A and B are shown apart, each in its own frame.
Chain A
Amino acid sequence: MGLRKVACVGAGITKFVRRAKETGRELAWEAAKMALDNAGMTLADIDCVVIGSAPDAFDGVHMKGEYLADGSGGFCKPVMRHFVGGGTGVFSPIHAWQHIASGKFETCLVVTEEKMSSCFPAPAGAFITIFDHTTEQPLGPTLIWIFALEMNRYMQRYGLTEADIAKVSVQNKFNAIDHPAAQLPGKITVKDVLNSEVLAWPVKRLDISPASDGAAAIVLTSEHKARRITDKPVWVSGVGWALDTAYWATRDLYYPQYVEKAARMAYEMAGIREPDKEIHIAEPYDPFDYKMLHHMEGLLLCKRGEAAKLVADGVTARTGRLPCCPSGGALGVGNPIAATGLMKIIELFLQLRGEAGKRQVPGDPRIGVAQAWGDLMQVGTVVVMSR
């Protein structure tokens, strides 16, 4: 196809917190500056900037891309902002990949940010208008309705219990203890999850990731630039994205087709035929505990309905055969939407370079996959990284 190889050469991330003193653009700068320092580069080395940020309504800033541009290094540079809801953070490296793989640019600074604490009484309130204004909004829906219907359908389809699903929350919050940016790490039990407040059955407080403020950034470059910058480039070896039907209740509530489509696109590009055997480490999107299971299945990392068993058997633990969310995921590290997806990309970057510190997955991992999910809960974004 004439596409060039693209590498990740640096990463930066702010702490994820409930309410940051910093403005969104200050958070963006902290992460972007850290990514440049990590790569040993300066802003003058950057050809173009891409910015990923979810709804303007979270930060309460319209044209958020322009607002964030100076803190993202966009001064007098080609800047593009992209937005696919919760899927944004994993789409960000895809957007940057397009810029470099096409041959147009050699280096791209990729910045993602969300400041959800601006939004009162809760960011969820900003979501009312994602529902159809005549056929759904009169019922007073909240986001959690979607997840409750999905989780119930998923449990019913495969005979799973709430306890089976709670194990994901327990695992990820435990993994997050070792993540320096983490907002909600901790040792909790399945019982804690089951006893937490029911929001919309079967979804309970501890099944859900928190609302967060935070930013994350990476630097992508062409192959020849990367070879000069580092002896440990991590390649963006596969990218994929896909959208399901816009009618959210119509799509398959127990199987994310949109993720499978995106994953197959990414795997084909990366030359992966048997993802369950060839992928060493995975960062599926886990804003809810059942969603990590959903997404493991959509990513073809196991058979349909089997993900919960892998978690129960410790296969997905950091020391297991297929570590899933070794970062601690959205459930443990936090969920500043667009920054969460890029946090997962950064986790792969660090793990594949052997630089994940206490979180390092044993066994010298060489291939990883990260995925996010969003829009009206029907977009899948997938990136395969390798070294």
Chain B
Amino acid sequence: MSFLEKPQRNVDLTAYDGKIPVHYKYTLGLAGDKFFTAIKKDGKFVGTHCEECDVIYSPPAIYCERCFASLEDSWVELPSSGTVVAFTVVTEDDQGKELHCPQVIAAIQLDGADNVFIHRVCDCCIEDLGIGVRVQATFKPKKERKGTLDDIEYFEIATE
């Protein structure tokens, strides 16, 4: 079979079905535990600060990747606002199916943080979104928060 030919249906070739029968339960880790607890309990972002390198990590790490110092006792609070570093508008899901409503995903640098994380931006903001635009987090109501990434409903364009 040349590389240009593709089997049109799987049944054209004799095959066995295969599956790796496992699933995963990931621990949050020491840093993740504090990060998500602060979101759940207080609706706040926290990070860790390496004084030596003057770097703030949020999402946090218990060590500084640059100098390897322990940051286990160097926690700081951060505002829930940040800046869009890059964004995309997603129109198909991970199975290639068209989404009813396009999803806006952005790389966001929280104010004060040196690292960048990924989250949703409210689709009502599409028109005004751009790189460098100021955004702020909207948390779910406290009783719905579970200590996961979804406790952050999305980011919206900052009003201030």
Using Cβ atoms and an 8 Å threshold, which residues of chain B touch A164? none
Segment 24-62 of A: residues with Cβ below 8 Å from B: 25-26, 29, 32-33, 36, 42-44, 57, 60
Q: Mark B14-32, 1 if CB is under 8 A from A, else 0.
A: 0010111111111111111
Which of A15-23, A239-247, A268-276, A324-332 contacts the other chain? A15-23
- Asked if A23 contacts B16 (CB within 8 A), the reply is no
- Asked if A22 contacts B24 (CB within 8 A), the reply is no
Segment 78-115 of B: residues with Cβ below 8 Å from A: none
Using Cβ atoms and an 8 Å threshold, which residues of chain A touch B75? none
Interface of B is mostly: loop
- Asked if A128 contacts B16 (CB within 8 A), the reply is no
Which of A117-125, A258-266, A358-366, A379-387 contacts the other chain? A117-125
- Asked if B30 contacts A26 (CB within 8 A), the reply is yes
Complex: A142 Cα to B3 Cα, angstroms: 35
- Asked if B24 contacts A128 (CB within 8 A), the reply is no
- Asked if B32 contacts A23 (CB within 8 A), the reply is yes
- Asked if B27 contacts A119 (CB within 8 A), the reply is no
Smallest Cβ distance from B117 to chain A, in angstroms?
15
Using Cβ atoms and an 8 Å threshold, which residues of chain A touch B11? none
Using Cβ atoms and an 8 Å threshold, which residues of chain A touch B65? 70-71, 75
- Asked if B29 contacts A120 (CB within 8 A), the reply is no
| A129 is an interface residue with CB less than 8 A from chain B | yes
| A85 is an interface residue with CB less than 8 A from chain B | no
Complex: A97 Cα to B18 Cα, angstroms: 39
Using Cβ atoms and an 8 Å threshold, which residues of chain A touch B33? 21
Give me 15 A-to-B residue pairs in the complex whose CB atoms sit less than 8 angstroms apart, sorted by A's number. Answer: A21-B27, A21-B29, A23-B29, A23-B31, A25-B61, A26-B31, A29-B68, A43-B67, A60-B26, A76-B66, A117-B25, A117-B27, A129-B18, A134-B16, A137-B16
